[in-house]
């Protein structure tokens, strides 16, 4: 590795098991057999054949019968993985949340926490004709397994369970404990599943009790001529804000009809919000800056002018601004850095000749890691202060009256959080400096698995760079369990033949990628079992 590459984007050395080398080699050979391939296909196909759809409007567990779909799936899990259920302690949380503990022989070693979710997004009935194979068939076409959840996220859950079952079959007993946590409504914000599982694990194990946590997230793909893996080390925050205007009603033909109805005032407010988006500058602490440092160090196809700018930006503020100007030409890059806002819902009025007494709209915000919920709310307040005066409105924002009480007004403006999902950005997992060993450990494991599946040697066949998704996983309820949270599935992020179909029709998962994911969890577990630095 060149000195420049080492300075811009330090890479960990390959990590493969040493003490467990014979077992690891045996597992790798087993995974390559036709017998294991057939067995693995049956496992993932069987999981897909058990529908576990969740909806945003589901009532609490025990009341809404739609939760009962998880019963047959969990019965199937128990039959499919008898050794896992015989050798671990299973705790059920809020009926359908699953936590497995495989105790290690050395209690001085912090356990590792592996996560996935059981639920899948619904399949609209109107889309059924568009599926190449029925969405809950688990059909195998010789290359791919098809169906809802085959990729997101039953592939992750089944890869973990398959790894443990196979290790147990081969007589492995861990020194370092392994804990699994499987939520059941990640696709509906985890309010009934992970929101209960996180505190339950915290109560049982305590704060900062795990060496690291791995949940679904980034994979690897070719970027600028180099294969790059991007484990997620951060997540944006989340806020939904309801903007609600109230004004007097009456017949619209009245001679006293107001110049501006609640709908008209709301429209003016919404324009003001959309004309004043959030703005955040690119910072050297942002994962986007980190990944472009890696592109500059290792990306063979990165344009040379951009490479020079990235290198200079490490120390020059002027070059950092120049890099921002270049990157922000791509809206996707800008949205990663800033707090994004989207006007997603609107309602108002009940009849064409009746003045609307109420009109409302909902903004969805994905909050920059440079900001927080409080700053986002204050931004919303500040943007409309002039319009509050212009339209003579009583103003209530997030539970506080911001205009003088008792003064006559023409109506009321209310800002309030919607859906109860307020979430600050996640703590950033250390990926450089003295606290970054778990990141380096994961990086070395990724490299070892990538090489093993392709018969390669060396540290630079795949580059590991910090990643970040604009969405949130179930890890948002697990922050106190470890500072080392990684959102990563060892999956090839780009299918050269067709999109993966995640959250839409024709979801599928390539079996070769699935087998590599099993080897990833195998290597991760065995490497962690040997490490005394975690």
| Residue stretches of the annotated binding site for Zn(2+) | 117, 152, 187, 215, 503
Residue 436: name the closest of 113, 10, 115, 106 by CA. Answer: 10
DSSP letters spanning 157-169: HHHHHHHHHHHHH
Rounded Cα distance between 311 and 296, Å, is: 7
* C-alpha–C-alpha distance, residues 320 and 347, integer Å: 43
Question: How many C-beta atoms surround the C-beta of residue 459 within 10 A?
Answer: 17
Binding residue ranges? 117, 152, 187, 215, 503
d(CA 56, CA 50): 20
The helix-helix angle for 511-530 and 21-31 (nearest 10°) equals 170
Distance (Å, rounded) from C-alpha 231 to C-alpha 238? 20
155-188 burial, b if ≥16 CB within 10 A, otherwise e?
Answer: bbbbbbbbbbbbbbeeebebebbbbbbbbbbbbb
Q: Is 186 a catalytic residue?
A: yes
Distance, CA of 402 to CA of 319 (rounded, Å): 42
Q: How far apart are CA 440 and CA 456, in angstroms?
A: 20
Assign 3-class secondary structure to 179-196.
EEEEECCHHHCCCCCHHH
Contact 384, 268 (CB under 8 A): no
Instruction: Residue 164: name the closest of 242, 246, 80, 229 by CA.
Output: 80
Strand runs labelled E in 281-390: 340-348, 358-367
Catalytic residue chosen out of the listed positions 101, 119, 216, 380: 119
| Bridge partners (DSSP) listed for residue 97 | 93
Q: Identify whether 119 is a catalytic site residue.
A: yes
- Strands of 148-304, DSSP E: 178-183, 213-223, 226-229, 232-235, 237-246
Is the omega angle on the peptide bond into residue 153 within 30 degrees of 0, that is, cis? yes
| Active-site position among 69, 101, 185, 186 | 186
Write out the catalytic residue numbers. 119, 186
């Amino acid at each position: 590795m060149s000195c420049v590459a080492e300075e811009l984007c330090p890479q960990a050395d390959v990590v493969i098991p040493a003490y467990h080398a014979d077992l690891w080699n045996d597992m790798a050979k087993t995974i390559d057999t036709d017998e294991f391939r057939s067995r693995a296909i049956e496992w993932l196909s069987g999981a897909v054949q058990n529908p576990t759809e969740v909806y945003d409007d589901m009532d609490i567990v025990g009341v809404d019968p739609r939760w009962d779909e998880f019963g047959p799936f969990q019965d199937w899990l128990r039959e499919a993985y008898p050794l896992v259920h015989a050798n671990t302690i299973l705790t059920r949380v809020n009926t359908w949340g699953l936590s497995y503990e495989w105790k290690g022989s050395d209690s001085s070693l912090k356990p590792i926490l592996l996560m996935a979710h059981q639920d899948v997004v619904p399949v609209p009935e109107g889309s059924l004709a568009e599926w190449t194979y029925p969405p809950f068939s688990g059909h195998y076409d010789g290359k791919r397994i098809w169906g809802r959840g085959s990729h997101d996220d039953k592939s992750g859950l089944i890869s973990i369970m398959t790894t443990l079952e196979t290790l147990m079959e081969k007589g492995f007993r861990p020194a370092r404990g392994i804990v699994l946590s499987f939520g059941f409504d990640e696709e509906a914000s985890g309010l009934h599943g992970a929101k209960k599982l996180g505190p339950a694990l915290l109560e049982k194990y305590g704060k900062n009790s795990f060496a690291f946590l791995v949940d679904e997230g980034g994979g690897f793909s070719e970027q600028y001529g180099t294969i790059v893996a991007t484990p997620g080390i951060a997540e944006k925050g989340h806020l939904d804000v309801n903007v609600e205007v109230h004004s007097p009603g009456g017949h619209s033909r009245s001679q006293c009809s107001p110049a501006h109805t609640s709908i008209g005032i709301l429209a003016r407010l919404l324009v003001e919000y959309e004309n004043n988006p959030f703005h955040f500058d690119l910072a050297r602490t942002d994962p986007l800056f980190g990944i472009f440092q890696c592109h500059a160090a290792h990306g063979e196809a990165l344009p040379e002018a951009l490479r020079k700018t990235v290198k200079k930006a490490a120390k020059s503020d002027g070059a950092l601004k120049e890099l921002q100007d270049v990157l922000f030409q791509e809206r996707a890059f800008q949205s990663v850095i800033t707090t994004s806002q989207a006007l997603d819902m609107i309602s108002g009025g009940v009849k064409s000749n009746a003045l609307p007494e109420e009109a409302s709209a909902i903004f969805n915000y994905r909050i920059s890691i440079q900001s927080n919920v409080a700053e986002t709310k204050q931004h919303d307040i500040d943007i409309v202060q002039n319009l509050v005066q212009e339209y003579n409105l009583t103003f209530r924002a997030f539970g506080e009256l911001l205009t003088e009480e008792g003064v006559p007004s023409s109506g009321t403006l209310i800002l309030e959080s919607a859906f109860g999902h307020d979430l600050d950005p996640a703590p950033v997992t250390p990926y450089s400096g003295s606290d970054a060993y778990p990141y380096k450990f994961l990086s070395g494991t990724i490299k070892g698995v990538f090489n093993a599946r392709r018969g390669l040697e060396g540290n630079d066949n795949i580059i590991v760079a910090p990643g970040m998704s604009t969405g949130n996983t179930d890890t948002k309820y697990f922050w106190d369990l470890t500072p080392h949270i990684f959102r990563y599935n060892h999956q090839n992020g780009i299918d050269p033949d067709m999109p993966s179909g995640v959250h839409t029709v024709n979801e599928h998962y390539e079996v070769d990628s699935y087998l590599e994911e099993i080897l990833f969890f195998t290597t991760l577990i065995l490497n962690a079992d040997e490490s005394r630095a975690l």
